[in-house]
Amino acid sequence: MLELIDHFNAEHVLSFSWGGAATLVALAHRPKRIESAVISSFSPVINEKMHDYLCHGITHLGAHNRYDMGHLINNTVGKHLPTLFKRFNFRHISSLDAHEYDQMHYHFSQVLELDPDNYLTAGKNITVPILFINGALDEYTCAHDAAHFSRYLRDCSFSTIDATGHFLDMEHKAACRDSKQVLMNFLQPAQVSRDVHNRVQDYPSLTF
């Protein structure tokens, strides 16, 4: 993550689902250019629904059971996706190569073994503002569980997108609109500040 931030000279980071854990650990190193971060569909709690999803996922991925894995995702974290999205999602999941299933198996196993204290403790070293976005209907990374981060982070805020599950803006037009508005309201102050800075920088320097 830190190498990607450096490579792309990133000023803002946006993560989704369990990418939030890696993002928090990276932000704890205080990369110089990062001004803020948005962490979506993530919470520090592996609740019963998420645990069940991960365990079933490990079983299907380990057996390379493409049919059951495709249906598992669509019936759990993807349950609120439109029918067309579910169809393409199933087609994508069921056509992955064996090595990709092995990689996903490793990822699911890693998530189950994660110690939340690692990224919660790391949060104490983070100085940039962070916005957490969760769907009101998300049973797997619940908004009220995400609120636990307020005890560990100096500068964080929380937004819940109404009538939306785990995949947020992908689920319907209103969710897309609301997610964009929340995101831009959070990022805009930094953008305005940077625009003013850029306009000042555009003036030629004078030497007397």
| Residue-level pLDDT at 114 | 87
**Same structural domain for residues 63 and 154?**
no
Tell me, yes or no, whether 28 lies in a domain: yes
Which is nearest to 138 in space by CA: 104, 175, 100, 174?
175
CATH of residue 31: 3.40.50.1820
**Same structural domain for residues 140 and 179?**
yes
Which is nearest to 62 in space by CA: 75, 76, 72?
72
Backbone phi and psi for residue 18, each to the nearest 5 degrees, phi listed first: -75, -5
pLDDT at residue 74 tops 50: yes
pLDDT at residue 27 tops 60: yes
pLDDT at residue 175 tops 90: yes
Number of structural domains in the chain: 2
pLDDT band at 207 (very low <50, low <70, confident <90, very high): very low
Sheet of 12-16: strand order equals: 12-16, 36-40, 130-135, 156-161
The stretch 180-198 carries a mean pLDDT of: 70
Tell me, yes or no, whether 3 lies in a domain: no
The stretch 50-70 carries a mean pLDDT of: 97
pLDDT band at 101 (very low <50, low <70, confident <90, very high): very high
**Same structural domain for residues 158 and 177?**
yes
Q: How far is CA 77 from CA 28, 59, 128, 155, 193, in A?
A: 28, 17, 29, 28, 37
Tell me, yes or no, whether 156 lies in a domain: yes
**Same structural domain for residues 65 and 39?**
no
